[in-house]
Amino acid sequence: MNKREIIIGYEAFQGLDELNSKDQDLCRSAEQALATAYAPYSNFKVAAAVRLKDGKIVTGSNQENLAYPSGLCAERVALFSIGAAYPNAVIESMVVTAHTDKFEITKPVTCCGACLQVISEFEQKQGKPIEIIFYCLGGELLKVKGVRSLLPFSFVEDRLQVEL
């Protein structure tokens, strides 16, 4: 047996003003997308903003459904919108943020496992990592350089690759 460790690197920022202007704009786009969230059951609104290589920003927000498995997370709404409208686009970075009136969110909200796997698929497709920023409104931000920092054992099976 060999014991191994995985070390995860990330950057922490105390506020928006510590980010460059492109990342600040992306955070603001995510913040604006919170208004489109449909979260009548949890009242936990989540939004994502994704910047493509050409500078275009695509947003998504969580869409709940009374039959819980039928809803969709903000990250997947944004990413699947890109897949449908811009199938060959290269994604540079994305921001995820959240808000609720029920309690104060004091630390950045991160992606669920299903969203991480979808991000992994997009990284695999484009052959390049996607920078991910987790933005706590009015608070701390965390930045990772690709989904492998968050999901080091993502499901990847090269023999299932499709010729594009």
CA distances from 118 to 96, 122, 155 (A): 14, 6, 10
pLDDT of 65 reads 96
Specify the pTM: 0.92
Domain span at residue 105? Answer: 11-152
* Contact yes or no for 59/50 (Cβ under 8 A): yes
Domain for residue 4, yes or no?
no
Domain for residue 50, yes or no?
yes
Domain for residue 164, yes or no?
no
Domain for residue 58, yes or no?
yes
Spans of the chain, pLDDT less than 50: none
Whether 75 is a known active-site residue: answer yes
CA 106 centroid distance within chain: 18
- Strands, sheet with 131-135, edge to edge from the N-terminal-most edge strand: 11-13, 141-145, 131-135, 91-100, 44-52, 57-61
Domain for residue 2, yes or no?
no
How many other C-beta atoms are found inside a 10 Å radius of the C-beta of residue 23? Answer: 20
Domain for residue 110, yes or no?
yes
Q: Where residue 124 sits, what CATH number does that domain have?
A: 3.40.140.10
Name the active-site residue from 75, 92, 123, 131.
Answer: 75
pLDDT of 164 reads 52
What whole-number distance in Å separates Cα of residue 20 and Cα of residue 22?
6
pLDDT of 14 reads 97
